[in-house]
Chain A
Amino acid sequence: MSAVAHAHDHSHDHAHGHDDHEHHHKDTFITKYIFSIDHKMIAKQYLITGIIMGVIGVGMSLLFRMQLAWPEESFKLFHFILGERMAPEGVMKNDTYLALVTIHGTIMVFFVLTAGLSGTFSNLLIPLQIGARDMASGFLNMISYWLFFTSSVIMVSSLFVESGPASAGWTIYPPLSALEQAIPGSGMGMTLWLVSMAVFIASSLMGSLNYVVTVINLRTKGMSMTRLPLTIWAFFITAVIGIISFPVLLSAALLLIMDRSFGTSFFLSDIYIAGEVLHYQGGSPVLFEHLFWFLGHPEVYIVILPAMGLVSEIMSTNSRKPIFGYRAMIMSILAIAFLSTIVWGHHMFMSGMNPFLGSVFTFTTLLIAIPSAVKAFNWITTLWKGNLQMNPAMLFSMGFVSTFITGGLTGIILGDSTLDINVHDTYFVIAHFHLVMGISALYGMFAGIYHWFPKMFGRMLNKNMGYVHFWVTTVCAYGVFFPMHFIGLAGLPRRYYTNTNFPLFDELQDVNILITLFALVGGAFQLVFLFNFFRSIFYGKKSVQNPWRSNTLEWTAPVEHMHGNWPGEIPHVYRWPYDYSKPGHDDDFVPQNVPMKDGEEQLHH
């Protein structure tokens, strides 16, 4: 097989100590690695930036988990990392705690799970899987990455501001986020937060527009919309909801900047703080909540849909079986995307908006459970009677389905306005959304990394380290978030610096310690992944062209990266991407670029 021959060439190269053949490109270091317009390089840039932000985001969560388990105790670690200003004598300050939860949320949702996940894999896979030479606009793509990088730098630099970073929660509800008198982080820190997010939104929009245009226009011959891999469907629809909802966050951010800096009253009214009445009159924080969640809710689907796409693809490949219900999967992606834009009010049942609106949002929210259930059942059926290849990517995909179900089911409680009354803003919510969108999306991201690492770096990740990484992570993820349901049902509010002021919550302390221990162990074992990742970039086993024996077009491209993806002609497509174990073929996979045999029938619809 040619793939084997190719791999042989590579080990040959390796023996001679060459890293990359670049002498046939005229790239300088700067155009190849920094201001690259090649989608594969941009994908890697997104991934590595995302991973660095992920380390910061997860690291913060470990710090505030320690504070919750051992409240107001002195840790040298706190003093070392946070410094005297944020943790005098090693005791974390209360506003530092809020700053950490705020920046943790912001970084994880936007910088890791939006840019790091969708940015990486949309960029990598859209051109490769639809058979295009590159994105519709490589230049726009490059700008998109560098805006993302700029916004990351601004966000991280806000940590070093004298008055502290934004600390009004990642939802930055005004007036808390608008008034420096209310919390110190709402000064310079919040300004930087808003600037960073404005830049981030510009980046996200450029990326999304590019994805949409590329998917619509640059599909290779034969690649009809119903022959697209589910990854592409997911990225495509994600980009569409991103285009619809992100601008609304930008307008919310702009209006908030106006309120903060130019004395307007869009979100503020009747405020008496620090001994004086402020001049604001007639604005409403509820308006901000509407604008924020008009993005904020689609945002969780912007996070989870790409993960769903990756999982569908990886599961089918590793089950050696077609994804079950391809069209139902597309329909549910569309249904989820549509519903995701009309459910935002379920974050606001208790906001003081008209209860009638609450009824409407309960209705639309619970509807979204139907396409989600269809997807879960389809994944499970895909496994049925398969020939499951337990690669780390496959394990993370199955882990995804598990946490998606566990986390998703409690959505039935939170989406029901009546039940939300008593669990709103408690740890129950934390448990729910971390499992259903945090952990699940991270699993999707890990699955994607393990699966497409060979495509990105031409080398394989070590599978045994992958297994260790998966099992410790998955045990710890349940260990952290499962008990949170119980303390949430006990009425424990989120965003409390310490629970010691309420004797009622004393009995929850042991659970909080347990959660923190799981978090610390789980966090520590991400080092295994990081080690594996960075080591394998340089020293990993060289990959063959199609290591997972997969059908999609990216595996028909040579391992060696090149501008334009394929030497010679772009492959044409003759079949859907899920002809695994199709009767009548010798191999248990039939790549999309293999023409139909004489008399071969399409066995799916």
Chain B
Amino acid sequence: MLSAADIATLWLTFKVASLATLIMLLLGTPLAWWLARTRSRFKGICNALVALPLVLPPTVLGFYLLVMLGPKGPIGQLTNELGLGTLPFTFPGLVVASVFYSLPFVVQPLQTSFAAIGRQPLEAAATLRAGPLDTFFNVVLPLTKPGFMTAAILGFAHTVGEFGVVLMVGGNIPDRTRVVSVQIYNHVEALEYDQAHWLAGCLLLFSFTVLLVLYSALKTHPVAHQLK
């Protein structure tokens, strides 16, 4: 069965994933919009940078984040100067690392759905004198709802499932940075396979349900085919 420590890790995981998803949607929306519209020569570089976590082994990404955010790294020195302390081994550090790690899962579906709208609806809105914000909330948002759903759900689910990055940047510290995937690792290391199975079962059920709901919802939505 799940112990109190296991449940604490589930709760911490939920908090990290929710906060990271929120930040990724806020950062990812303008970024995806720009990537979908721009003809800048930096588009390729930006696309590659965003997609990097898909390819890099998580421990490599985790190590670089650890060095960059640590007291000797450029970002760590900046946060120290600002009186924030350094980020690794703290809850905010976990959130920042998760944002980097899961960002492609948010940006890519958004970028695809922004590109799928085409120019006509935006030009039509402009001829009706709709401002950019008005256009975004009343034209773009309703047309790209499935894209946002996919982005939010994949971003959240991927953050819940991450291991290598959070182990490196978080340090497996009880109550502070020990998320559910790290707790499973602890159980396996202690050869407590029963407890590991319970937690892993929860994750499996969660991931399957999330994906099932996502794909069922997308199937019934009229714009869904544009995403394929």
Q: Please determine whether chains A and B interact with each other in the same assembly.
A: no
Residues of chain B touching chain A, judged by Cβ–Cβ distance below 8 Å, are none
